[in-house]
């Protein structure tokens, strides 16, 4: 029996090789794990034997994807509390430092995020501008997450207690999830985040179909092959899998972004509640997640709709071509590929916000009352092919002023995560109307402060070290 990677997986009925795979796979890959409180420890290795022993001991604190899913089921059935999430990722340099040669060989992973070729491809800032912990060679990341700070901190301290002197903590990032008044996760600009995700488990697709507004227009189901990779260094790569993991610390200048929203509203002459539409035109959704292409104002049902495409807005008279969600998930409207090929660029995003701030992200206060730094997103995403997923999304979609491909239109860079020289863009004055005005570029408000590519190997590989 082999594992069918061409479709979703039913974890509740998995048997044979599929069941073995779930028992040796790290959690958070196929389904997001609660990590409202997160510690990300970035490490560099010294003595290989000590490092191997350390990783084996850390494996004793980890649970499998199957154990995580069982915990999710127990919580739904009886409210039973789960255990902390521990995840381990290795860079290509980390594998070499361990003396492991037969590790997965994705081209971008082997090259690494720090390589000049990667920086040119992604338009990343110079590495010298990163936070100090990212200037050297990173070998591993250990993630510890939970719903409470107490549980997360206890597990983090347990892992630090296992650390030999030859393994150095280069940096530690602390994630702190934020929610709006409805309890939905938001990022620091105040917008609902993480709503549209590829779903790899049949049970999650069924839940989306039956518990939200459906999947008849946009089906989020994605094949396992879009996130899982055979773990070539594990004892049995036929049943031992992992995933390529992107980690990027993205600082958000909230003050600058909120000023840009106000400036765009002024340029378009928007007044009253309609001024909220300026921010929605930058993001593609209102703060509560309501898709701009389906409604002229916020106030969607909860959870917010994800069952939409841009087919009814081909001329971008409602949602601009350059809006963040239209650039990074064109839903078949990109103009360069068939919809099936376009979907293969989507990745499993697992980010969490970081940083403290005194103001409410959703409050109506002037831009001057917003933080200009020190807060942001720990962007995390799982991929099966980095060059066709994360790197493609950043370089070919977000950083490309000519995407989506539309006759006689240059949409411009993604106003949120686009990196590079920014030009003017056109926006419709009225939702669904034809009159347009050209607005100054939205200034870059998101800055990369550090990051790296990792592979999250199977538990079987870690135990066998």
Please give the Cα distance from 21 to 109 (Å, whole number): 23
CA 220 remoteness from chain centre? 16
Helix (H) or strand (E) holding 241: strand 241-252
Q: Which residue, 313, 330, 258, 325, is CA-closest to 285? A: 325
Preceding amide of 255 cis, omega within 30: no
Please give the Cα distance from 254 to 260 (Å, whole number): 10
Q: Which residues contact 368 (CB under 8 A, 6 or more apart)?
A: 255
Catalytic positions are 206
Q: Which residue, 309, 319, 336, 316, is CA-closest to 400? A: 336
HSE-up of 332 (CA within 13 Å, CB side)? Answer: 13
Tally of CB atoms within 10 A around 305: 21
Q: Which residue, 313, 345, 349, 306, is CA-closest to 329? A: 345
Confirm if 112 and 118 have CB atoms less than 8 A apart.
yes
HSE-up of 190 (CA within 13 Å, CB side)? Answer: 21
Mark out the alpha helices in 270-310 (DSSP H runs).
Answer: 276-283
DSSP string, 175-232: EE-EE-TTS-EE-TTS-B-S-S--B-BHHHHHHHHHHSS-SSSS--B--GGGT-EE-T
CB burial of residue 19 (10 Å; 0-12, 13-18, 19+): middle
Confirm if 452 and 114 have CB atoms less than 8 A apart.
yes
Q: What angle do CA 40, 45, 50 make, to 5 degrees?
A: 110
CA 408 remoteness from chain centre? 32
Confirm if 247 and 139 have CB atoms less than 8 A apart.
no
């Amino acid at each position: 029996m082999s594992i069918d990677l061409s479709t979703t997986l039913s974890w509740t009925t998995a048997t044979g090789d599929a069941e073995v795979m779930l028992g040796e796979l790290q959690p958070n890959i196929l389904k997001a794990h609660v990590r409202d409180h997160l510690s990300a420890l970035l490490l560099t290795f010294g003595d290989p034997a000590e490092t191997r022993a350390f990783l084996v001991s850390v494996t004793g604190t980890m649970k499998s994807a199957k154990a995580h899913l069982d915990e999710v089921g127990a919580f739904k059935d009886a409210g039973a509390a789960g255990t902390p999430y521990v995840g381990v990722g290795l860079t290509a340099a980390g594998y070499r430092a361990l003396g492991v040669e037969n590790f997965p060989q994705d081209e971008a992973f082997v090259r690494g995020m720090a390589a000049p070729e990667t920086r040119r491809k992604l338009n990343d800032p110079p590495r010298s501008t990163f936070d100090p912990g990212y200037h050297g060679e990173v070998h591993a990341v250990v993630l510890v997450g939970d719903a409470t700070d107490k549980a997360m901190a206890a597990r983090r301290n347990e892992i630090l207690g296992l650390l030999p002197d030859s393994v150095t903590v280069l940096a530690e990032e602390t994630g702190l999830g934020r929610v709006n008044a409805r309890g939905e996760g938001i990022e620091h600009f105040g917008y609902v985040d993480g709503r549209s995700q590829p779903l790899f488990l049949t049970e999650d697709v069924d839940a989306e179909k039956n518990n939200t507004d459906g999947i008849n227009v946009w089906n989020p189901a994605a094949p396992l092959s879009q996130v899982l990779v055979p773990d070539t260094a594990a004892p049995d790569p036929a049943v031992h899998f992992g995933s390529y993991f992107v980690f990027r610390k993205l600082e958000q200048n909230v003050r600058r972004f909120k000023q840009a929203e106000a400036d765009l509203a002024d340029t378009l002459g928007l007044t009253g509640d309609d001024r909220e539409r300026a921010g929605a035109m930058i993001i593609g959704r209102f703060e509560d997640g309501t898709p701009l292409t389906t409604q002229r104002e916020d106030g969607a049902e909860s959870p917010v709709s994800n069952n939409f495409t841009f087919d009814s807005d081909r001329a971008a008279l409602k949602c601009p071509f350059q809006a963040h969600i239209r650039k990074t998930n064109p839903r078949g409207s990109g103009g360069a590929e068939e919809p099936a090929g376009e979907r293969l660029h989507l990745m499993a995003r697992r980010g969490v916000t970081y940083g403290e701030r005194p103001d409410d992200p959703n409050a109506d206060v002037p831009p001057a009352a917003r933080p200009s730094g020190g807060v942001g997103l720990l962007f995390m995403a799982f991929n099966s092919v980095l060059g066709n997923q994360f790197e493609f999304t950043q370089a070919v979609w977000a950083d490309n002023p000519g995407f989506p491909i539309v006759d006689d239109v240059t949409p411009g860079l993604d106003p949120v995560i686009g990196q590079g020289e920014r030009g003017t863009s056109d926006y419709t004055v009225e939702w669904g109307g034809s009159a347009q005005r050209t607005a100054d570029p939205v200034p870059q408000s998101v800055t990369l402060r550090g990051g790296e590519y990792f592979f999250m190997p199977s538990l079987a590989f870690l135990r066998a070290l």
